[in-house]
Amino acid sequence: MTESSQEEILELIWTIDEEKGEVERDSLIKKIRLPSAEQILNTLIHEEYVTISDSKVALTKKGLADARVIIRRHRLAERLLHDVLDVKEDAMDSSACKFEHILDEEVTASICTLLGHPVTCPHGKAIPPGECCEKANKEIRPVVMPLSDLKSGDEAKIAYIVTKYHGRLDRLSSMGLLPGVQIHLHQRQPTYVIQMGETQIALDTAIARDIYVRLL
Amino acid sequence: MPVSEMNRYKVALVGNPNVGKSVIFGLLTGKYVTVSNYPGTTVEVSRGVCNGLDGGVEVVDTPGANSLIPLSEDESVARDMLLEECKKHVVQVVDAKNLRRGLLITTQLAEMGLPVVITLNMWDELLDRGMNIDVNVLQEKLRLPIIKTIATHRVGVSALFSSIPNAKVPNLYVDYGNFIEEGISKIEKILQGNTTVNERALAIMLLSGDSALEEKLRKKLSDHALDEVQSIRNNIQAHFGSPLSYVINIKRANYVDAVVEAVTSNLKKEKETHPVLRKIFFYFLMPAASFFMGYKLMALLMYLISSRLPPGSVFASLLPFVVGGISSIWFSLHLYVKEYKAKSTIAGILGSITMHPVAAFPLLVIILWTVYKLVGEFGAGTCVEFFEEKVFGRSLIPSGGFDVSIYIPFVQKSYVVTHVNFQGFNYYLGLLAQKLVDKDNIIFELFLNEQSGLIRVGLTYAIAIVFPIVGFFFLAFGIMEDSGYLPRLAVMVDKIFKRIGLNGKAVLPMVLGLGCDTMATLTTRILNTKKERIIATLLLALAIPCSAQLGVISSVLGRVSGIYFAIYVFVICTQLLLVGYLSSKVLPGAPSDFLMEIPPFRMPKLSNIFIKTFYRIHWFLKEAVPLFMLGTLALFVATKAGLLSFVERMGAPITRNFLGLPEETTHGFILGFLRRDYGAVSIFKTLEEKGGSAGIDPKQLLVSLVVITLFIPCLANFLVMIKEQGAKNAFLMFAFIFPYSVLVGGILRVILQQFS
């Protein structure tokens, strides 16, 4: 297994690649901000985590698998801190960085289950799914879950909204359906009807799946 | 003191959907606009003048919007009006019990820098729900006049009146955080001097990605400036994981939440229904109503198979009672367990039942049956017959007068009070006309001809047939609208409508289409996407019979046999679903979201329903009567010029060989383009004449009525289609509907022949 500084670099390569689609060697070295950056990178190349061609850095299959695990832990940690522990944004980042090195596979899976197998981090970036997500057991009710999994009569607070569609997000938010708002699920059939304050709102399944709530 | 031109301002009514803007508009201007308990009733700006204010100012009513960053066509109307270049005072109508959602808009008005007066409307409903708002604190915070109103009861309107001149810019300022604020000030510099409202508001809209606004600004700003805006937006977006518009909305909501928190309090004393009333409701009304529901439902089912049932069977006569009993027990127990202890109000319970996953559907059938009884049987049957035969009558044969009688229910007896010896308007007119000209004279024929006289046919049909049917339909529709039943219907049909490329929201145009397709085509604007609007317009034109037509059809078919009426409904519904499904596959575009506010179930106010019905009928008559006259005139000319018989000869082979109908019915199909019901009546008359003493052939009747229902829309509807969808789309729809309706008729004929 890699050391934590190596883990940080793998994580960095993943993030840059996710944002820009490619990783320049020189800009990577600059971003590492460690005196031994070159050296660690060479170790990674030597141990076949990373390859370099045309001064572009890429993860090998082995490196990719490791980076994926680290990213997953980091972003799950962020979700945990943000949604459940209600930690402020600045503190969240630094704590999540420490978390990612100490979590083992089992604890990660438990956190993931607890959070209801979230798909994105609080910044909106994708969380790579783990084994537990695929096996997600519907019978155990996680703390945070899509609105579509609530039973009618449940009270819940909106935790976050994840959707591919801008328009949907705008429509929900202009109606006042935003994180932190308390809702009551009135009925599930024929369509979902929720009560928010004194307003009753009908919405269809596709939208209900995008609204993640914390059961009260 | 006269107000100088400099001080002239307009009053704009703005607010969330269904908060009562139109009621307040009516009170300020004395002008009526349709008011209902359904979000999206107003789709266009209505203008009026408020005379009491500063020597008369213009008042503008706008469609409701949840945000001034528009998401649909009707929402953009409000925003565009606010951006117009002129001085204006905004009256923001807020639903008092939903203060938070109202203030979300107020922050946007503050950003625009417009002077605002807020009315906290539906104040009574706020108190009923055990809540309170500290108006003084809110007023101090916002530094503008805030008026409590109950608009439907005219409470607080005069205070609102006198406060309008004192409108102030709301003292609200949302700080969007460093990144966004920096972007706002950069864009403000680019916009400088090119805007009618504060630059800050437009900058925020642009950051939210408002493409409609960008288009508007293209005229004033250089491409370079717009590119710069784009790059500023992209730079800021890079700092956030979620879309900027969402980030902005969250910041705004957090700000508003703090304000709302400070001014609202809970009295913890929710108004409850009186205990005696509750007992009556739970122990008597509910069991009785649900018994009736079960009984009627079974009776309706048995009516369909009545020809298969052995007459006089004890089992058959007991069955409805058994089903009624089961329904009564089930409902009462269910409600008692769930609601009695929960202390819900009766309106609340009704609101829930009407969208209950199981109970709502039998309820819907019963409501449809009631509407049919009112519109189809009483309106289209009794009233039409009275108006057509007795009041108008024929031009050459006296009607024989009618009896005024008192009908005593349950005993089924009626006592004749007196006989009125009135032979019909047309008869007296005919007598009068014959004094001047001979009855074969062209002038006499033009007005009083039995087949195409302007008065004998055009005016008589418009008033005697269409007027009672449409009138009763609008009455029923008004009750459904104002009680809040319609949006609940949207909840129920959403899943089915999804299959045909629409969503639950489309229930409003579709149900309104059962009244008048022309009016309904206009309301398709409340739908979110172009695709939905096209599908809804097509389906309205194709498969939704208007009340006039439906009235004629149901009374005609109902007289023949229940099973034929059921087949008719089945065929039309299948076509609706089939064509909807296919067009949703063919037309490009993603399905749109169903996200709709459900207004509370309310006891409809009778006066409002009557006024609304009156205005709708007024609109209809203004629209329909000239078209009837025009149509009849065209028919008259076509008959005299021999054109009609030419078209009939052209169409005859199809009518005769493919549809298996007498050639003369072609005439009716052509009339259908002028008014659909007109065609249906004409076909019925033709078939009746052809059938002679043997009576009408029900299969022929069914085929012809299916074809005329699916057939091309009436002229008025077609003109509105061109206006809303453009000539190209309208003609494409026309070109599809015409052959398609004939094809369906032909197929139906073949199938019916197989079963005879």
Q: Mind listing the pLDDT tens digit for each residue in B46-92?
A: 888 887 766 778 888 888 888 888 776 667 778 888 888 778 899 99
Q: Is the pLDDT confidence value at A1 over 50?
A: no
> What integer is the mean pLDDT of A91-117?
80
Q: Mind listing the pLDDT tens digit for each residue in A141-186?
A: 567 889 998 888 889 999 888 888 878 888 888 888 888 889 999 8
All structural domains of chain B:
9-166 (3.40.50.300), 178-266 (1.10.287.1770), 275-353 (no CATH), 468-592+606-755 (no CATH)
Dmax (CA) for chain B in angstroms is: 90
Q: Give the pLDDT score at B54.
A: 67
CB–CB of A204 and B503 under 8 A?
Answer: yes
pLDDT band at B104 (very low <50, low <70, confident <90, very high): very high
CB–CB of B98 and A198 under 8 A?
Answer: yes
Q: Mind listing the pLDDT tens digit for each residue in B495-546?
A: 889 889 888 888 888 988 887 787 788 788 778 788 999 999 999 999 898 8
CB–CB of A204 and B100 under 8 A?
Answer: no
Q: Mind listing the pLDDT tens digit for each residue in B391-447?
A: 888 877 787 778 787 777 777 777 888 888 888 888 888 888 888 888 778 888 888
d(CA B352, CA B349): 5
pLDDT band at B105 (very low <50, low <70, confident <90, very high): very high
Give the contacts of B179 (CB within 8 A, at least 6 positions apart): B236, B239, B240
d(CA B114, CA B13): 12
pTM of the model: 0.73
d(CA B225, CA B209): 15
* Whether the Cβ atoms of residue B453 and residue B395 lie closer than 8 Å to each other: yes
Give the contacts of B71 (CB within 8 A, at least 6 positions apart): A167, A170, A171, A174, B528
Q: What distance in Å separates residue A88's CA from the closest CA in chain B?
A: 15
Q: Give the pLDDT score at B538.
A: 93
Q: What mean pLDDT, rounded, does chain B reach?
A: 83
Nearest chain A alpha carbon to B16:
A175
Residues B687-726 as b or e (16 or more Cβ within 10 Å = b): beebeeeeebbbbbbbbbbbbbbbbbbbbbbbebbeebbe
Of B243, B246, B598, the CB nearest to A202: B598
Q: Mind listing the pLDDT tens digit for each residue in B114-144?
A: 999 999 999 988 888 888 899 999 999 999 9
**From the candidates A170, A181, A193, which should be mutated to test the interface with B, based on the most B CB atoms within 10 A?**
A170
DSSP strand pairing (A192-196 vs B10-15)? unpaired
Residues of A with CB below 8 A from B243's CB?
166, 169-170
Alpha helices in B642-691 (DSSP H): 643-653, 665-672, 676-691
Q: Identify the residue with better confidence: B448 or B304.
A: B448
* Whether the Cβ atoms of residue B323 and residue B295 lie closer than 8 Å to each other: yes
d(CA B629, CA B378): 26
A4-59 — its CATH code? 1.10.10
Q: From edge to edge, which strands make up the β-sheet containing B57-61?
A: B46-50, B57-61, B10-15, B88-95, B116-121, B146-148
- Choosing among 3.40.50.720, 3.40.50.150, 3.30.390.30, 2.30.30.90, the CATH entry for A144-215 is 2.30.30.90
Q: How many Å separate Cα B533 from the centre of its chain?
A: 14
Q: Is the pLDDT confidence value at A138 over 60?
A: no
Q: Hey, what are B24's tokens?
A: 């307040």
* B residues 563..622 contacting A (CB < 8 A): 593-600
Q: Give the pLDDT score at B1.
A: 39
Q: Mind listing the pLDDT tens digit for each residue in B599-619?
A: 888 888 888 888 888 888 887
d(CA B125, CA B327): 33
CB–CB of A190 and B355 under 8 A?
Answer: yes
Which sign, positive or negative, has the C-alpha torsion B656, B746, B714, B37? Answer: positive
> What residues does CATH 1.10.10.10 cover in chain A?
72-134
Q: Give the pLDDT score at B343.
A: 67
Query: Hey, is the C-beta of A123 within 8 angstroms of any chain B C-beta?
Result: yes
Closest CA to B79 of B194, B216, B185: B216
* A residues 158..177 contacting B (CB < 8 A): 161, 165-176
Rounded to the nearest 10 degrees, the angle between the axes of helix B606-641 and helix B643-653 is 100
Q: What is the ipTM of this complex?
A: 0.78
Asked which of A21-25, B1-5, B156-160, B191-195 is least confident by mean pLDDT, the reply is: B1-5
Residues of A with CB below 8 A from B356's CB?
187
CB–CB of B492 and A123 under 8 A?
Answer: no
> What integer is the mean pLDDT of B200-223?
85
Q: Give the pLDDT score at B621.
A: 78
d(CA B614, CA B576): 31
Query: Hey, is the C-beta of A18 within 8 angstroms of any chain B C-beta?
Result: no
Q: Give the pLDDT score at B300.
A: 79
Q: From edge to edge, which strands make up the β-sheet containing A192-196?
A: A144-146, A211-215, A155-161, A182-187, A192-196, A199-203, B595-598
Q: Mind listing the pLDDT tens digit for each residue in B262-290?
A: 888 876 666 666 778 878 887 888 888 88
A72-134 domain in CATH 3.30.590.10? no
> What residues does CATH 2.30.30.90 cover in chain A?
144-215
Q: CA dist B152 to B1, B36, B479, B651, B670, Å?
A: 32, 11, 16, 55, 46
Cα separation of the two ends of chain A: 41
d(CA B517, CA B716): 9
Q: Mind listing the pLDDT tens digit for each residue in B558-582?
A: 777 777 888 888 999 999 999 999 9
Residues of A with CB below 8 A from B497's CB?
none
Place of tokens 């209505």: B46
Q: How many Å separate Cα B397 from the centre of its chain?
A: 41
Q: Give the pLDDT score at A126.
A: 82
Residues A162-196 as b or e (16 or more Cβ within 10 Å = b): bbeeebbbbbbbbbbbbbebebbbbbbebbbbbbb
**Beta-carbon neighbour count of residue B428 at 10 Å?**
14
DSSP of B635-648, one letter per residue?
HHHHHHHTHHHHHH
CB–CB of B357 and A206 under 8 A?
Answer: no
pLDDT band at B2 (very low <50, low <70, confident <90, very high): very low
Closest CA to A186 of B673, B344, B305: B344
Closest CA to A176 of A195, A156, A151, A155: A195
* B residues 72..131 contacting A (CB < 8 A): 95, 97-98, 100-101, 104, 129, 131
Q: Is the pLDDT confidence value at B331 over 60?
A: yes
Q: Hey, what are A40's tokens?
A: 């660690």
> What integer is the mean pLDDT of A174-202?
88
d(CA A103, CA A108): 6
Secondary structure string (H, E, C) spanning B173-228: CCCCCHHHHHHHHHHHHHHCCCCCCCHHHHHHHHHCCCHHHHHHHCCCCCHHHHHH
Nearest chain B alpha carbon to A178:
B250
